[in-house]
A = this chain, B = another copy of it.
């Protein structure tokens, strides 16, 4: 299913607010709600991890300074986990000292907002992040045009029937279905599906594309995987 956009970009978006001050959490939740989003909040990093494990949010608003595990630590930790390594993070910070800013950006935060900030600025940043991340709505299962990918059982169903493929093909398809319509070159696919600093020929991508297509062929779904000559590949089902 696709995320449903109603009144604006990122409408209905699942935003996780992580802060140890209740007043700030409330303020943020209120602001986000007014913008048509669906905020949740977590008091501290521990709760945040639970909340994220419970359901992967579309974006995380993360306070820099928190007792125990700091926002910075949490961000780094999220970046290391496979499940959350590309989870968009916006860092909230009151500090202005030079090295903090540097650390915040290096830690993997996608953006940062310095307190005090206006509600409008907050919304703008969140929407900007949401706009550039894919609009797939994960509920443990991605379902697109007769293709179902169940990440729990690691099973692919085409028109209800199970489709057999290797682990790499599965991850490739998973990545594609999480980024519908976006074009990727071979290097990007290697980074995202095989992993960074894995040295493999670029043409290997072609071969696995081929194997994935072959697996989808009997169900006439291979046409969803399109070649972009001179660039790479793209997953694009009809009317998307």
Residues of A within 8 A of B (CB): 1-7, 98-99, 101-102, 105-106, 110, 120-121, 124-125, 127-128, 131-132, 135-136, 138-139, 152-155, 166-167, 170, 181-183, 186-187, 190-191, 196-202, 228-232, 234, 236
Are the CB atoms of A167 and B5 closer together than 8 Å?
A: no
Are the CB atoms of A228 and B197 closer together than 8 Å?
A: no
* Interchain CB contact (< 8 A) of A102 among B121, B198, B228, B236: B121
* Interchain CB contact (< 8 A) of A154 among B98, B186, B201, B231: B231
Q: Please measure, in the bound complex, the distance between the C-alpha atom of A153 and the C-alpha atom of B80, giving whole angstroms.
A: 28
Specify the chain B residue showing the minimal Cβ separation from A4. B187
Q: Please measure, in the bound complex, the distance between the C-alpha atom of A129 and the C-alpha atom of B97, giving whole angstroms.
A: 19
On whether A200 and B3 interact (CB within 8 A), knowing A106-B124, A135-B132, the answer reads: yes
Are the CB atoms of B5 and A190 closer together than 8 Å?
A: yes
Would you list 22 pairs from A and B whose C-beta atoms are within 8 A, ordered by A residue? A3-B187, A3-B199, A3-B201, A3-B202, A5-B190, A5-B191, A5-B196, A5-B197, A5-B199, A6-B196, A102-B124, A105-B127, A105-B128, A106-B124, A110-B131, A152-B181, A152-B183, A153-B234, A153-B236, A154-B183, A155-B183, A170-B230
